Amino acid sequence: MLASLQEWMAQMLRLPIQEHSQSPLLLNTRNWIKPSPSLSPEKRIGIYNAQVWYRFFNLLQKDFPSLIRLFGDYDFNFLIAQPYLQAHWPLDSALILLGSKLPAYLTTHYHEEDRRLVLPLAFLDRAYLQIPNQASLPPLQNEHGPICLQPTLALLEMQADLFSFRKELLKHPAETWLERDFPPISWGPTQYYLLSHQNESFYTEELPLPAFRLLSAFQEKASLKDALGSLSPKECAAAEPHIFSWFQHWRSQGWLGAPV
């Protein structure tokens, strides 16, 4: 009995708000919920449903401050957050993970004309939220074994200086951007960056493409040999004169860690 109630309740709470009042699941509502003096069982479960969805909407809005400024409340909630949550309903009580898959979800499912703006901003918002909360790995001692990129770093690619664009967006509350013109963007070829968090501050560094590729391989844990093997012949040739100096710099900055 309890398991059936829990299963039914979970199904009701996961129903998108617009679909709730038309769901066949409502036919069973009076079997599980009693009316209150002022509300029918259907209205009561509808309130619970809306509370859950708007709680998740609000959390995602806080986690993705750039996107909420681009889209506004309604479009963010129902064009971005709702389809994402339908695909990735949270099963973990740690709600800081709620939006962890949103950038990857948008990469696969968002194909509007502003994709080159929306996708990197989603990754950027997630990086600013995530990397300060990561624990560092032990410093790399032996470059002949597996190498990891420190979790306190994020690799990002974009076709404009969206760090500055995002900074300008965040100067004003989300609702004011409904009446404002967005900051200008100078688009160009893809640029590659590393974002780090050290001593309570964020730092960015632009990377050559071969360096970005190597660090991306280390992000998945790889030996230097395997990381070099992931480069194209052209990238490998471009990287070869710089690998020693890059490694010196990366190790001095503490970017490379040892797997645990």
Greater confidence (39 vs 197) lies with 197
What is d(CA 255, CA 150) in angstroms, rounded to the nearest whole number? 6
- Of these ranges, 9-18, 23-32, 214-223, the one predicted with the greatest mean pLDDT is 214-223
The torsion of the CA quartet 160, 163, 166, 172, rounded to 10 degrees, works out to -130
Q: Give yes or no for residue 8 having a pLDDT over 70.
A: no
User: In this predicted model, what pLDDT tens digit does every residue of 79-89 receive, in sequence order?
Assistant: 999 999 999 99
* Cα-Cα-Cα-Cα dihedral sign, residues 70, 71, 77, 82: negative
Report pLDDT for 143.
78
Report pLDDT for 131.
94
Q: Which amino acid is at 87?
A: A
C-alpha distances in angstroms, 97 versus 59, 90, 109? 10, 8, 20
* Cα-Cα-Cα-Cα dihedral sign, residues 86, 89, 95, 99: negative
Q: Is 156 helix (H, G, I), strand (E, B) or coil?
A: strand
What is d(CA 216, CA 204) in angstroms, rounded to the nearest whole number? 16
Q: CB–CB of 74/175 below 8 Å?
A: no
User: In this predicted model, what pLDDT tens digit does every residue of 110-142 receive, in sequence order?
Assistant: 999 999 999 999 999 999 999 998 999 998 887
Helix segments in the chain, DSSP class H: 2-14, 17-20, 29-32, 41-63, 65-75, 82-87, 102-109, 115-130, 162-169, 209-219, 224-229, 233-239, 243-253
Report pLDDT for 101.
96
Give the pTM. Answer: 0.88
Report pLDDT for 184.
96
**Strands of the 153-158 sheet, one edge to the other:** 153-158, 191-198, 201-207
Q: What percent of the chain has pLDDT over 90?
A: 71
Mean pLDDT of the chain: 88
Q: How confident is the model at residue 149 (pLDDT cuts 50, 70, 90)?
A: very high
User: In this predicted model, what pLDDT tens digit does every residue of 23-73 receive, in sequence order?
Assistant: 665 656 656 566 677 767 667 777 778 888 999 999 999 999 999 999 999
What is d(CA 17, CA 26) in angstroms, rounded to the nearest whole number? 13
β partners of residue 197? 202
Q: CB–CB of 189/209 below 8 Å?
A: no
CATH for 134-260, among 3.40.50.150, 3.90.930.50, 1.10.10.10, 2.30.40.10?
Answer: 3.90.930.50
Domain locations in the chain as residue ranges: 1-99, 134-260
Report pLDDT for 14.
78
Report pLDDT for 66.
98
